[in-house]
Amino acid sequence: MELAYIPSPSSGVLYLGPVPLRGYAFSILAGLFLALWIVDRRWVARGGQKGTAWDIAFWAVPFGLVGGRLYHVITDYQLYFGEGRNWVDAFKIWEGGLGIWGAVALGAVGAWIGCRRRGIALPPYADALAPGLALAQAIGRWGNWFNQELYGRETDLPWALHITSTEGGRVPGYYHPTFLYEFLWCVGVALLVIWADRRFKLGHGRAFALYVAAYCAGRFWIEYMRVDEAREILGLRLNNWTAMIMFVLAVVYFAMSAKLRPGRETVVEPGAAATGGATGGATDGSAGGDDAPDAAGSGSGSGATEPEAAGKDGKDGKDGKDGKADSPGTKEEAGPKKPDAGSKKPDAGPKADASPKEKDGAADKDAAGPGDAKAEDAEAETARADSEDTGPGTADSADARSKDEAGSAKKS
């Protein structure tokens, strides 16, 4: 009597009213959606567009299902075309029977068609798919548990699988749970591929080649333990030979690819790169557009100010007047002083550094006479008071008017 074992489900089908919910189909679909979720995330992380993985899956999944079923039917044709068998059972995929080799081979053809339609290469997509495919296989193996199939030799280990069904020539007993072995192995393969891909930046199909090689290494010894009916060649099951051949091909491809095409692809989906470039360009352009008006406005403002000032200077220079008002500091230095009656020119001591225009203005003020100078001083004081209240622009205009009036007084 076994004290510990893995029980088998009493039935692999649950009924929701008249609708049957089969555990095998549920396992396949759950693994499929998990794989697509993973490949979509990995594809976007590699620089592809979101949703591309699902578009390619539209081709790859049907091809993969047909390929997996074809491989199983061809390699185990006696189950469907032998004496007393019904060939219609070959189409009953829900009863189990998918060969991973055929699923991957024909699924790759479907993926290639999908990639061609999207204008991308197959190897980078295969690299993104690799760990997701391994996890899909891991979950899909639980379908064998629901169907009580593909178990190993008899064992008394505490994790033995208890088979209770007698259908299809099964003998109830305790067997190696090869479905569980392959589940754990595939999870390990997925983690290995993810780690190696991050550590070594695998590209050009090498992540997928690593998945194939690692899976085949485990499938060989797991297949060797199984006791279900299968074709043999030279004492080995057909799947053992397939695993060995695929292992060698994957290792050769990995080595040659690393030598001929080292590194990883920089662009995996040209459309995504173009869109990203356009977006980046638009962003840069927008930023530039925001700055450009400011710069243009600043330039226009400066440019408008300088010609205006130049125009004023030129006009005032014609009339012998000051152009634009000087800064407050200069005004204080150049402020008019009451001249002595006996001198022709006032003492310009503080105005030693004054500009030529200021000197001309001071000379004109001296020539105008003391009375005019007093009036001019009063007007200048008023203009300075106004500039403090209304700002520099108003002060400039007031000073300019005061100097104009002073010039008119001179002429009169």
Separation between Cα atoms, residue 256 and residue 405, nearest integer Å: 95
Separation between Cα atoms, residue 316 and residue 324, nearest integer Å: 9
**Residue 234: what pLDDT?**
93
- Centre a 10 Å sphere on the Cβ of residue 129 and count the other Cβ atoms it contains: 29
**Residue 348: what pLDDT?**
43
Find the distance separating the first CA and the last CA of the chain, reported in whole Å. 135
Separation between Cα atoms, residue 320 and residue 317, nearest integer Å: 5
Which tokens go with 408?
Answer: 């008119």
Which tokens go with 13?
Answer: 């089908």
Give the pTM. 0.66
Separation between Cα atoms, residue 222 and residue 205, nearest integer Å: 26
- Centre a 10 Å sphere on the Cβ of residue 412 and count the other Cβ atoms it contains: 7
**Residue 386: what pLDDT?**
53
Tell me the one-letter amino acid at 243.
A
User: Cα torsion at 358, 364, 367, 369 (round to 10°)?
Assistant: -90
As averages over each run of 10 residues, the pLDDT of the chain (412 residues) reads: 79 85 92 96 95 95 94 87 84 83 95 95 96 97 93 94 89 96 98 97 97 98 92 92 97 97 93 55 37 38 40 42 42 45 44 45 45 55 54 47 50 44
**Residue 384: what pLDDT?**
62
- From the list 45, 39, 46, 38, the residue with the least C-alpha distance to 265 is 46
**Residue 84: what pLDDT?**
80
**Residue 98: what pLDDT?**
87
Backbone CA torsion sign across 401, 406, 411, 412: positive
- With H, G, I as helix, E, B as strand and everything else as coil, classify residue 232: strand
Separation between Cα atoms, residue 278 and residue 284, nearest integer Å: 10
Separation between Cα atoms, residue 103 and residue 292, nearest integer Å: 58
